[in-house]
Structure 1
């Protein structure tokens, strides 16, 4: 019997996880962050008062069937218009989702309709059908600074003091709560830690559903979780600090496995202690595309997840 897997996240990180899961099971539910306010998604969100479609589109493309039909539609979904006109920068998939949502007024029905067209393996759901904003408070050299918006939080400077989503009482979709309750495994990460991963712990109903689920939880750490790495968001912070943020916003969350590439492990004992705080077993495995890359290799990730989900490792 194939395991039922729920993958939480957004953007390229979630897409990598979904691509890695696809050879292992056809029972996949992607629950996607809906707080993007930049690029094509931001423009469509502002004009039509809809969910930002970009991360949802990427998840659909990652779950396209591995045949000529699926591969061609994945490429079509991701195709961006060029030029200097109004359509410049818009991916076809974003426009397709926006048009269905505008016509039918139902976000989940529109996603399911596109999923059927693409013959996706599994299902893609938004974490809420209320468009969300992320607000972060940072301590900087000039004092406390509050920034609002995913792209603004992603590029903010200073030390993070607090993070929240707005509206704070946004409802979770019943389909997402059902998927969490019914799952055998739940993955979190990799991805932008502040704007793609942590928001899943900031929505009260979803956090409760995640904590209460009997599924085995797997946290996939970012490849930029090391002081030698620069970049936006939480890049450069140690792996232990990434986990401390998870504990801060979901202190009752218990994790079964923590996956870290050897390149981000500075102090194995410290990381093992932090994993133990979460109830997790630390797995150190090569999951990097190439030396120096901050992107996960999908085939390597498939191998690690396959071992995790097998009786040999669990036992």
Structure 2
């Protein structure tokens, strides 16, 4: 578990494993392609004139009681598929939450998770002393962080939360279609990558990284503005950082494949700001291994 975290320094001046680049308004925009990395499909796109809906409200769901319920079920067996073998036996509260979650994710592709227990000071402590001004490692992924600064606490909390979101989405698909999705039996408490990304903010605010994620789900928290998601045909700004740290969930390509297209992967991007920000992310895959290649999805 101590090796599930990696710290990534992201900046316009230098992205590692570079395969190409272009220049706009004096800013070097790098493209990278690392076939052995979770991020091999990322691409950089220049910002468009499309309007971003800053006042659009991202749907919310309180996960505190759901996690408590699922944690009790996990005490008997770690396989979520064994928790619910008959759709008629699903408790009414879980049934309502699953239908709501799956409906929102199907139509919006993004949801803000509340009641997650993640503290802002814990996120900031994770990167203390690790914000590099010039990375000389010849690799996109920086050396693994140590297990100090509460990283293991965050790892366990986030993997559990990501799994519970995936379970709710699978249950919602089951209840809505009457067909039990196969991936419900593959939502294990592992198969994840947790990353700390520090955006230095030392550019002209011109950089946008537009991409899908390859996994089932991604949980994203952040300490400043910049994240935007494609929802219902428009770009929507992620919830602002106020007195609590926001956590949003987006759908990856593996979920689209595993659900047979019932859920669609969420296109999202990071519009680099002038001020530094830190992003904490959980890329959750579980035990799902989609067949075939995803290359055609990014043509």
TM-score (norm 2): 0.27
Structure with a larger share of its residues in helix: 1
Structure with a larger share of its residues in strand: 2
Higher RCO (CA < 8 A, seq sep 6+): 2
TM-score (norm 1): 0.26
